[in-house]
Amino acid sequence: MSKPDLHFNSLTIHGGQKPDPSTGAVMQPIFQTSTFAQAAPGEHQGYEYARSKNPTRSALEKSIASLEAAAHGLAFGSGLAAIDAVLKLLKPGDEVIASNDLYGGTYRLFTSTFKQFGIKFQFVDLGEDGALKGALNSDSKMLWIESPTNPMMNIVDIAAVAKEAKESGLVVVVDNTFASPYLQQPLNLGADIVMHSATKYLAGHSDVVLGLLATNSEVLAGRLAFIQNSSGAICGPMDAFLCLRGIKTLHLRMQRHCENGRALAEYLKEHPEVSAVYWPGFKNHPGHNVASAQMRDFGGMLSFRLKQDTKEEAVRFLRKLRVFTLAESLGGVESLAGHPASMTHASLPPEERAQLGISEGLIRLSVGVEDIRDLIADVSQALDNLKS
Ligand SMILES: *Cc1c(COP(=O)(O)O)cnc(C)c1O
């Protein structure tokens, strides 16, 4: 019996999922096998060798497709492996136009690995009027968007830039890691491919590294599946299972991440030791109107600047935290704090960091789903004790 059309909060649980036909198992089984029996050469049940296809991975691929309102999903061993597959759609001489404040690992993959194969890159401020038009040329083949960006929480008008890029024939890709499909569905805004580091909100429990792609294009899906199989950067069945299990509570977690993010942003804004808070839910955030239109809510990521804008002050603050953990990554149930200038963005030249607003006293928070009273108390005691 086919399922009725479901709402997002039901698709997280049921999207692309059905009880295992051989046993009735309600949860997707972990098919820990590399190969599948054939009755005669080429006569099989759709699975031959697990690099090409594995039923646990297939279930996850159907799940992300349903959450991103896509026809096709693909799963990889990490977010960067998924990005690597997308870049392999290009050939030498082709150019990618990308947001100028990309995730550091994406920037490194572009400029250290793909540059040496003759792919060209231009980094522009996609929030600036006319920036994309000024960058477009006959070699431009792909537009790479992040919104909100890391760690300054800048917002790109996805529908507007996607429209402009597609008029020039570019493939439009959105890294939707920070928002998750609960908050934002880029394919519905005109993107061709949506990419996730599922390591973050989708899996949501800081226990797996995994990447996902989704698209409505038959042609792009076919080429990406070919690259997935021929390059082989797939995820294992256990990791696919963990991600599927995490996705079942995505809507519940995101709702709480958003509530806690809002409460903490508002608390920090009033604190005398804080000079600025970057969170798109504030009416005076430059991307607020676009974020309100293209996102369901404003998420659990925020950054703030300490009044005394130095590394020493940032380290003093981070050392005093007791509930927030100082760590790379984001999007898990537990709250994390980071120092972008020395952690995620350490590889950027200092002048570029300064230009983006990533000063030494900037702190990034991934607000988790704990009791908000404990999170505010933790940040409060750390800020209040900075002088001692
Ligand atoms: C973490 C992250 C990536 C890379 O994903 P991995 O799973 O770590 O390989 C890409 N983009 C963004 C926005 C991320 O936060």
In a domain, 74, yes or no: yes
CA 340 – ligand 1 centroid, Å? 15
User: Cα–Cα distance between 10 and 303 in angstroms, integer?
Assistant: 32
Asked whether residue 29 carries a pLDDT value surpassing 80, the answer given is: yes
Q: Looking at 204, 226, 247, which one is the last position of a domain? A: 247
Residue 154: name the closest of 102, 223, 205, 94 by CA: 102
Q: What percent of the chain has pLDDT over 90?
A: 91
Q: What is the CATH number of the domain that holds 302?
A: 3.90.1150.10
> Is the same domain home to 225 and 181?
yes
> Is the same domain home to 312 and 355?
yes
> Is the same domain home to 340 and 231?
no
**pLDDT score of 311:** 96
Q: Give tens-digit pLDDT for 160-201.
A: 999 999 999 999 999 999 999 999 999 999 999 999 999 999
Q: Say which of 101, 157, 175, 239 is annotated catalytic.
A: 175
> Which structure tokens are listed for 55?
């039923």
> Which structure tokens are listed for 247?
């996705």
**pLDDT score of 371:** 98
Q: What percent of the chain has pLDDT over 70?
A: 99
**pLDDT score of 350:** 86
Q: Looking at 207, 230, 247, which one is the last position of a domain? A: 247
Q: Say which of 57, 200, 262, 305 is annotated catalytic.
A: 200
CA 128 – ligand 1 centroid, Å? 24
- pTM for the model stands at 0.96
> Is the same domain home to 88 and 228?
yes
> Is the same domain home to 103 and 238?
yes
Confidence of residue 1 (pLDDT cuts 50, 70, 90): very low
In a domain, 108, yes or no: yes
CA angle in degrees (0–180, nearest 5) for 160-202-166? 20
- Per the CB < 8 A criterion, the answer to whether 180 and 212 are in contact is no
Q: Is 197 in the pocket of ligand 1 (CB under 6 A)?
A: yes
Q: In the predicted model, what is the mean pLDDT of residues 13-21?
A: 92
> Is the same domain home to 243 and 263?
no
Ligand 1 atom nearest to 199, measured from its CA: 7
**Cα dihedral angle (130, 131, 135, 141), rounded to 10 degrees?**
-100
- Per the CB < 8 A criterion, the answer to whether 210 and 76 are in contact is yes
Asked whether residue 255 carries a pLDDT value surpassing 50, the answer given is: yes
Please indicate whether residue 309 is annotated as part of the active site.
Answer: no
- Per the CB < 8 A criterion, the answer to whether 140 and 110 are in contact is no
User: Cα–Cα distance between 168 and 162 in angstroms, integer?
Assistant: 10
Asked whether residue 347 carries a pLDDT value surpassing 80, the answer given is: no
Q: Which residue has the higher pLDDT, 355 or 257?
A: 257
Q: Is 78 in the pocket of ligand 1 (CB under 6 A)?
A: yes
> Is the same domain home to 59 and 172?
yes
In a domain, 42, yes or no: yes
> Is the same domain home to 363 and 316?
yes
In a domain, 6, yes or no: no
> Which structure tokens are listed for 180?
């998750």
Please indicate whether residue 201 is annotated as part of the active site.
Answer: no
In a domain, 5, yes or no: no
Please indicate whether residue 200 is annotated as part of the active site.
Answer: yes
User: Cα–Cα distance between 238 and 209 in angstroms, integer?
Assistant: 11
**Domain count across the chain:** 2
> Is the same domain home to 256 and 243?
no
CA 25 – ligand 1 centroid, Å? 32
> Is the same domain home to 229 and 302?
no
Q: What is the CATH number of the domain that holds 217?
A: 3.40.640.10
286 is in which domain, residue-wise? 250-387
